[in-house]
Structure 1
Amino acid sequence: MTPPVSVRRVTDPEDPALAEFGRIQQESYYAPEMLIPPEVFPHLVSGGGRGARQDRILVAQDADGPVLGGTVYHLLPEAGFNSFLAVGRGARGRGVGRALHRATLEEVRGRGLPGIFADSVFPDRQDAADREAEARTGVDPAARRRALHALGLRTVDLPYWQPVGGPNGGPLTDLDLLFHPLDGAATVPTALVTGTLQAYWGAWLGEKRARQEAEALAGRAGRDTLRLLPATETPGYWREREQRKQNAEA
């Protein structure tokens, strides 16, 4: 019989679970250099968040056993934002990701926040090198998006990209923004999206640049309310862009 999985918040910067989760993170993502480095984890759990942001790390374990997976998320004034969730290869299929996400939502709900955001690669916008690198981790990006949908996350229908991290330091455009609304809504206010991202980006872009990027995002959105699509879909902006490309090549 498979032992039950328990989830706990790590608060001790010397907890060995941080190093174990760090190894899982490095092994589970095809571009770990794009993530929060494991050496920063002790700072996060020591209350190192900037401004109104509160950082959290949860780990999942068997009773007195090794770390099976973990998640890094942030509580912001407007909503939560999940930076990363990973499950070790040997623990996949046991509901570890669901247990971690459920525990995250409990705190988000307890804070009176409307839900939690995340971003995720859309497979059709990955280049060949990234697809090969991800295959080596044992993760199928399309399956990941199906799993995120099953957890309750939905694609926000707007042209989203991370301001930095792409080619030559430019925007990273292979990601979609996702949102898990705690009330099950089919839409999300644009102001909630941009306010959350401005607070989230501010920690690493600085307040001025984060405000500029949030304003640009609001301009691209072009409306006050945004649809929430299945997490397996990409926003209409990218679908229309691909259709224009195909028409031009025809």
Structure 2
Amino acid sequence: MDYIRVTSIDDPLFAKLHQLMKEVFPPEEVLDFDLWKGPLEDPSIRVFVAVHQEEVVGVTEYRYYPEWNIAMTDFTIIGRPGLGLGRFIANKRMEDLQELASQNGVELNGMFAEIYDPYRIGDHDFGGVKTMDPYVRREVLSHLGYKRLDFPYVHPSWENDGTAVEGLDLCFMPLDDSVNELKSTLVVDFLSTYYSVLPDKPQAWLDMIEQLKSKEMVHLLEL
């Protein structure tokens, strides 16, 4: 199995990657093909595919923020069972992030991720791909060490139509197991930076940010 970075929409692997995304994710979570040109060419955004027998069987996108020494996992797709893809991608991603942190003279503090909550909204079947079952994924991510930030979370739709997407939790995986809260300023700064690419923010998201600004800390709860 190969772990290969994709940096151009002209890369034949990207067409396979994008098709896999459309098969697995709901439309509001998938950026249009041509709109990927900028993100793929952005050195801070890291898109890797797992290639098995010349086919893209897994994908992960993530980014590292040296100013906060944290990462964000944008998404992970486990497209086929029986290949050990989850462990393969998680290990390769962490190796890459630790190398980036090392270049910054530190060890990684942790990683954010948006995680579906199927106990609230259970209508995502992820294209019938059983390895992407939201109940399974939530437990796997809990096993990896992700914890849920204690506030009602929404995010702007990637269709950039001003709607708020619900049914997810913002989570954080601290690499120090003793960490059980984050500074709210970190959460606000991160979310404001992460979603700066989407100019049409829903009012629910703006209200959420204002509520976070009124807090000093945000607790981390078990998934």
Would you call these one fold, judging by a TM-score over 0.5? Answer: yes
After superposition, where does 1:62-77 map in structure 2 within 5 Å? 62=52, 65-76=54-65, 77=67
Which structure shows the higher strand fraction?
A: 2
**Quick one: percent identity of the two aligned structures?**
26
Among 61, 68, 74, which residue is 2:51 paired with? 61
Corresponding position: 1:148 with 2:141: yes
Distance 1:143 1:42, change over 3 A: same
Which structure shows the higher helix fraction?
A: 1
After superposition, where does 1:128-167 map in structure 2 within 5 Å? 130-131=123-124, 133-134=125-126, 136-138=128-130, 139-164=132-157
Whole-angstrom CA distance in 1 between matches of 2:209 and 2:13? 39
- Residue identity in the other structure for 1:59: V
Residue in structure 2 matched with residue 10 of structure 1 by the alignment? 6
Residue in structure 2 matched with residue 44 of structure 1 by the alignment? 39
TM-score between the two structures when normalised by the length of structure 1: 0.71
What's the CA shift string for 1:87-113, capped at 9, x where partnerless? 21xx22432133223333333333345
Q: CA deviation at 1:157?
A: 1.7
Whole-angstrom CA distance in 1 between matches of 2:97 and 2:150? 23
Aligned to 1:204, the other structure's residue is in SS state: coil
After superposition, where does 1:63-212 map in structure 2 within 5 Å? 65-76=54-65, 77-78=67-68, 79-88=70-79, 91-109=80-98, 110-111=100-101, 112=106, 113-126=108-121, 130-131=123-124, 133-134=125-126, 136-138=128-130, 139-164=132-157, 169-184=162-177, 185-205=179-199, 212=206
Whole-angstrom CA distance in 2 between matches of 1:141 and 1:60? 21
Whole-angstrom CA distance in 2 between matches of 1:140 and 1:215? 30
Structure possessing the higher radius of gyration over alpha carbons:
1
Distance 1:192 1:33, change over 3 A: same
Q: CA deviation at 1:134?
A: 4.1
Q: Please say if residues 155 and 177 of structure 1, whose CA atoms lie closer than 8 Å, have aligned partners that are also in contact.
A: yes
Whole-angstrom CA distance in 2 between matches of 1:218 and 1:125? 22
